[in-house]
Amino acid sequence: MSLTGIRYTKGFLLDLRRRLEFIKDAHELLEMKRDQLIIKLREGLEKLKELRRKVEGEAEEVYRELSLLHSTLGSADLETYSAYLRGNMDVKIVPRGVIGVVTPMVREVNIPDYTNLYPPQIIPLAEKISALMKDLVKLAELEAYIENLAEDLRRTNIRVNALEKVVIPSYEWTIKRIQDILDDEMLEEIIRLKLIKETLTRRRIT
Amino acid sequence: MITYLICKCHVYESRLLPRRLILELASASKLEDFIEMLSATAYGDGLLEAKSIWDVEAALTEKFINRLSTLLRVSPENIREFLIQYYRRFEIQNLIRIMRMKLIHEHAESIKRLIIPSEMLGGMDLDPFIGAKNFNEFINLLAGTRYKAISKMDIENPLILESMFRWIYYQGVFDKVSKIPRADRPDVMKILGIELDLHNIRVCILPILYDYDRKLAENLLIDNPAGKSKGLLMELRSIEELLESFPRYRVFIEALMRREEWRAEIEYFRILKDEVDGKRISKYINFFYVLKYILDCEVEYRNLRSIAISLYHNLPVNIRRSLLILPRT
């Protein structure tokens, strides 16, 4: 990255130094954010691994129960049992912020009630499916959380790298260059002054 | 002549698939092998055309209903009357299925594939019910049938309506028991009593295991003139009391306690099968053998259906075998 509108003045140099200081603070903050995101992401991934294992186990159990019921009751009975379901599944989602990352949070999961409605043959399967649905919603929430964290981590990483590898070196280089030019100019000025002084002294003698 | 019917049942009984073959079928590696093996038996080539699990089930149901309808053709008038009423269990099964589908506004075509051909067993024509525009019209249509009591009721919970269908059915069957020879009645009553006891146990467990309203459970109980009375059942408040009152059905109750409804369904038929198989009747000519044959047909039908569906789901051989209704001996 090259800086435009560079003025080789003391004032501009001071301004650049101030700006670099600010950028370094921002870089430090972003690094801290990145570390926090990594920690949160790791925790989330651990939870996801655990929850996914649980959901897979539950799904397997539901499928097993379903195939056993299907085998014993036949297709027709099994198909008609679904008629007793009243109402739809309802999920309430609100946004929440984690280290500045907005992710969806499930506030409420309402599974239609089957008590006093279902024939006994189907209740255990309904119970298992209800539990699975609740955990599937939790899994979706956690996946969205991790996805958003990962996306923010990617963006933060790009910013940290950009600051570290491009912006800060470019500022430092520009500051150095201005400093060098200012130093040269100062030296030139001193030499010029010396020459003038010598000339003046020589004139006075003659 | 009833003797002719009973003798026919003895003959037909010998044509049912042997236990060894059922176990072999359960060990088939895939559905196609099962169909091939089965089509080499009395089930014939019809099965080979089956393209889906629904087709296999339909072919098995057709064979099962054909077997039962054959008995109607060789029965004397009074026995025919009893059998038609006994077979109404398939009619109420159909009516319950139609009712359920009407609740979710399912169209007639998709309801038709769920229906057992109960007309072949002397049942009423179900087409008007299938074609009913909605649930209310379905209930109104019941007014002109033996199920008219249901149409007069103002009940929202379909579980109670299902129970009413069963109650009317069993009332009819117990009424028609008078059509069979007096000496054979106790054995028939006993089987019907066991069926109802097992149904009522399932209902009694609802408030204990699944928090169902006790009042609702009481409404779902069906009077059992050949078993434990409704009043006595209403007093049972725990699993221990149920086990104490029905020690013979321990395995069934334990399956329900473990919430293994599929196992309870198998145990239900195992108990009935054990009962009919264990019975030693002094006379060779007894109406009980007709009921035994009907139950054996149903057990074979359920076993084959169970094997086909479990193969469709790729269940392991040991589980497939455990789903079979085989006598404990």
| Predicted pLDDT at A2 | 58
- A120 and B203 within 8 Å at the Cβ level: the answer is yes
Partners of A121 on chain B (C-beta within 8 Å) are 261, 265
Question: Could you tell me if B309 lies within 8 Å of chain A, comparing CB atoms?
Answer: yes
User: Rounded to 5 degrees, what are φ and ψ at A90?
Assistant: -130, 130
Which among B100, B101, B202 has the least Cβ separation from residue A120? B202
Among chain B residues, CA nearest to A119:
B159
- A117 and B323 within 8 Å at the Cβ level: the answer is no
List, for residues B279-311, the tens digit of each pLDDT value: 766 667 788 889 999 999 999 999 999 999 999
| A23 is a domain residue | yes
List, for residues A196-205, the tens digit of each pLDDT value: 999 999 999 8
* pLDDT tops 90 at residue B152: no
d(CA B258, CA A3): 75
Tokens standing for B110?
Answer: 């998709």
Distant-in-sequence, close-in-space partners of B128: CB < 8 Å, separation ≥ 6? B141
| A112 is a domain residue | yes
| Predicted pLDDT at B280 | 67
| Predicted pLDDT at B281 | 66
Residue-by-residue DSSP string for A25-78: HHHHHHHHHHHHHHHHHHHHHHHHHHHHHHHHHHHHHHHHHHHHHHHHH-HHHH
CA distance A94 to chain B (A): 32
Among candidate residues B51, B47, B124, the one with its CA nearest the CA of residue B84: B124
Burial of B40 (0-12, 13-18, 19+ CB in 10 A): exposed
List, for residues B35-72, the tens digit of each pLDDT value: 999 999 988 877 888 888 999 999 999 999 999 999 99
Give the total residue count for chain A.
206
Burial of A45 (0-12, 13-18, 19+ CB in 10 A): middle
| A5 is a domain residue | no
List, for residues A161-200, the tens digit of each pLDDT value: 999 999 999 999 999 999 999 999 999 999 999 999 999 9
| A206 is a domain residue | no
Under an 8 Å CB criterion, which residues of A touch B?
Answer: 65, 67-77, 79-84, 115-125, 127
| A79 is a domain residue | yes
d(CA B144, CA B150): 11
| A1 is a domain residue | no
Structurally, how many domains does chain A consist of?
Answer: 1
Question: Could you tell me if B155 lies within 8 Å of chain A, comparing CB atoms?
Answer: no
DSSP classification of residue B123:
P
| A114 is a domain residue | yes
| Predicted pLDDT at B248 | 92
* pLDDT tops 80 at residue A1: no
Q: For chain B, what is the total number of helices (H) and then of strands (E)?
A: 18, 0
Q: What is the mean pLDDT of residues A156-163?
A: 96
Tokens standing for B316?
Answer: 């392991």
**Domain, as residue range, for A115:** 10-198
Alpha-carbon distances of B219 from A93, A142, B204, rounded to whole Å:
40, 45, 11
Tally of CB atoms within 10 A around A184: 11
Q: What is the mean pLDDT of residues A148-159?
A: 95
User: CATH number, domain at A113?
Assistant: 1.10.287.3240
Tokens standing for B125?
Answer: 């024509």
| Predicted pLDDT at B62 | 92
How high does pLDDT run on average in chain A? 92
| A204 is a domain residue | no
Tally of CB atoms within 10 A around B302: 22
Q: What is the mean pLDDT of residues B119-147?
A: 93
d(CA A86, CA B158): 12
B290-293: list long-range contacts, CB under 8 Å, 24+ apart: B290/B5, B290/B6, B290/B9, B290/B71, B290/B79, B290/B83, B291/B86, B291/B187, B291/B188, B291/B191, B292/B9, B292/B13, B293/B9, B293/B12, B293/B13, B293/B71
